[in-house]
């Protein structure tokens, strides 16, 4: 061994010397035998293990590297240590090699910190852990104070420079390294866990922090809350969901009396108001199991899920919600309970038969015997082209729907009272009017009489809630 010859060896030579040291005296055969025996007893490291120091050398030769990034090269090894601890171990090990007299081809700046504080910024993390990350941590904690939460998760968006450095570090140690994102997430997360006694949760955290290193800010968003229930709509002229004013697109203008809404109110608006107040949220989305037209009442409970965005509070007082919503004269709710995002899909898949009550006014008198023709529609399959009133916003298709039952009685010369039970998705107004021949057969067609006016209610929704 001649590793005392100052400046003549690089670290690769040293490592290969260490590897050969114990077996120098042995014959080739003897050496192999000995290695096999030691490996069998778990005492000898394989070649792959020496690569660890080589990885460190490759990285350190790129410039000054902090302990945190040096450790990050081996984040998947030595479970239970922080990356900073891993980095110290590796740097000290290499320092021993240097102290022993070997002067490897290494960027010296990386070992100054053993004697003095390094003055240059880390090549890989650009020193974001010195000031930026602590200040983003404080920002995250300050922002979280207005939220009620038990679990949380931190995510990171890298800027382009850090993104490139991250790829560079991963290429040096593809098997053992982790992304700087993990280090940022953990650094901020550990602090929040410690100070607020909250849990990190990967699947469905109550609160999500995004450390945005492009803008150097932290944004916070809470998990949406979903509330299931059934509603009745007892008045006409109310849409199911809120429509933005067409003039101002929801911002508020003279035309909409600064409400931002096209219709003064909606089922959504009446239901959401006390919920948004209670959960301290600004926005909801309303998912109904089908919908009735603006001018149609719904006298049986229709299922819905209301989704509350970014709520600051998560504790729902259902009793209070009943009291507050049901004060309304036009909308009533029932069976409120907490739901989840997945429930929306099953709600949308529900296909319930429905029963409608209609009062139809015809252009000509309707004879008593004509009503028999209406009964003939019972059990028939009708063909409906997409109604003219919606064809400009929906695909023009033909659908077949079954009319399960139909009853009719005369109220006056031109007024007929109808009770119609039909399959989910039937266009009932068009079943009555014929929609200029686009729905066949229709009540108008069998009566040979045009319809002037229809007043319609949903009276029963099959399946119930």
Q: In the complex with Zn ion, which residue's Cβ is closer, 74 or 152?
A: 74
110 contact partners, CB below 8 Å, separation of at least 6: 60, 64, 65, 91, 118
Minimum Å distance from CB 252 to Zn ion? 6
Q: In the complex with Zn ion, which residue's Cβ is closer, 126 or 461?
A: 126
Rounded to an integer, what distance in angstroms lies between the CA atom of residue 3 and that of residue 434? 99
67 contact partners, CB below 8 Å, separation of at least 6: 83, 84, 87, 88, 91
Q: Which residues contact Zn ion (rule: CB under 5 A)?
A: 66, 69, 122, 124-125, 245, 247-248, 253, 255-256
CA atoms within 13 Å, Cβ hemisphere of 353: 11
Give the other-Cβ count within 10 Å of 306's Cβ. 24
| Residue among 212, 293, 405, 417 flagged as catalytic | 293
Q: In the complex with Zn ion, which residue's Cβ is closer, 68 or 223?
A: 68
Minimum Å distance from CB 59 to Zn ion? 10
Q: In the complex with Zn ion, which residue's Cβ is closer, 260 or 387?
A: 260
Minimum Å distance from CB 94 to Zn ion? 16
DSSP 267-281: HHHHHHHHHHHHHT-
Q: In the complex with Zn ion, which residue's Cβ is closer, 28 or 116?
A: 116
Minimum Å distance from CB 212 to Zn ion? 20
Give the other-Cβ count within 10 Å of 429's Cβ. 20
Dihedral sign of CA atoms 42, 47, 48, 54 in order: positive
At what angle are helices 83-99 and 11-21 packed, to 10 degrees? 80
228 strand-pairing partners: 305, 337
Verify whether residue 293 is a known catalytic residue: yes
Minimum Å distance from CB 116 to Zn ion? 18
440 contact partners, CB below 8 Å, separation of at least 6: 382, 383, 434
Could you list the active site residues? 293
């Amino acid at each position: 061994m001649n590793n005392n010859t100052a400046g003549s060896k690089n670290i690769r030579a040293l490592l290969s010397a260490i590897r050969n040291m114990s077996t120098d005296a042995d014959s080739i055969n003897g050496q192999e035998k000995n290695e096999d025996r030691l490996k069998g007893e778990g005492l000898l490291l394989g070649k792959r293990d020496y690569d660890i120091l080589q990885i460190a050398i490759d990285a350190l030769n790129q410039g000054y590297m902090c302990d945190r990034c040096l450790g990050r090269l081996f984040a998947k090894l030595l479970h239970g240590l922080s990356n900073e601890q891993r980095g110290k171990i590796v740097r000290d090990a290499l320092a021993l090699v240097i102290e022993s007299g070997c002067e490897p081809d290494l960027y010296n700046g990386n070992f100054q910190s053993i004697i003095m504080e390094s003055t240059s910024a880390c090549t890989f993390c650009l020193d974001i852990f010195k000031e930026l990350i602590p200040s983003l941590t404080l920002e995250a904690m300050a922002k979280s104070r207005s939220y009620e939460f038990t679990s949380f998760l931190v995510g990171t968006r890298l800027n382009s420079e850090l993104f490139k450095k991250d790829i560079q570090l991963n290429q040096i140690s593809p098997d053992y390294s982790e992304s700087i994102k993990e280090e940022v997430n953990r650094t901020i997360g550990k602090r929040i866990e410690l100070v607020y006694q909250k849990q990190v949760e990967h699947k469905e955290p109550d609160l999500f922090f995004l450390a945005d290193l492009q803008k150097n800010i932290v944004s916070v968003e809470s998990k949406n809350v979903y509330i299931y229930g059934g509603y009745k709509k007892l008045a006409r002229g109310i849409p199911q969901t809120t429509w933005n004013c067409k003039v101002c697109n929801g911002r508020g203008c003279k035309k909409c009396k600064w409400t931002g809404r096209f219709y003064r109110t909606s089922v959504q608006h009446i239901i959401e108001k006390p919920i948004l107040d209670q959960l301290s949220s600004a926005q909801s989305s309303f998912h109904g199991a089908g919908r009735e037209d603006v001018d149609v009442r719904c006298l049986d409970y229709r299922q819905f899920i209301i989704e509350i965005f970014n709520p600051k509070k998560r504790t729902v007082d259902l009793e209070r919600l009943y009291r507050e919503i049901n004060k309304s004269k036009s909308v009533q709710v029932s069976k409120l309970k907490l739901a989840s995002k997945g429930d929306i899909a099953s709600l949308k898949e529900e296909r319930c038969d429905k029963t409608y009550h209609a009062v139809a006014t015809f252009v000509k008198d309707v004879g008593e015997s004509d009503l028999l023709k209406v009964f003939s529609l019972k059990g028939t399959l009708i063909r409906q082209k997409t109604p003219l009133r919606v064809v400009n916003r929906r695909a023009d298709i033909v659908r077949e729907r079954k009319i399960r039952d139909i009853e009719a009685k005369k109220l006056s010369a031109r007024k007929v009272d109808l009770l119609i039970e039909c399959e989910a998705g039937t266009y009932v107004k068009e079943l009555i009017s014929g929609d200029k021949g686009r729905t066949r057969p229709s009540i108008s067609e069998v009566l040979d009489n045009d319809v002037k006016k229809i007043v319609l209610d949903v009276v029963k929704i099959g399946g119930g809630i």
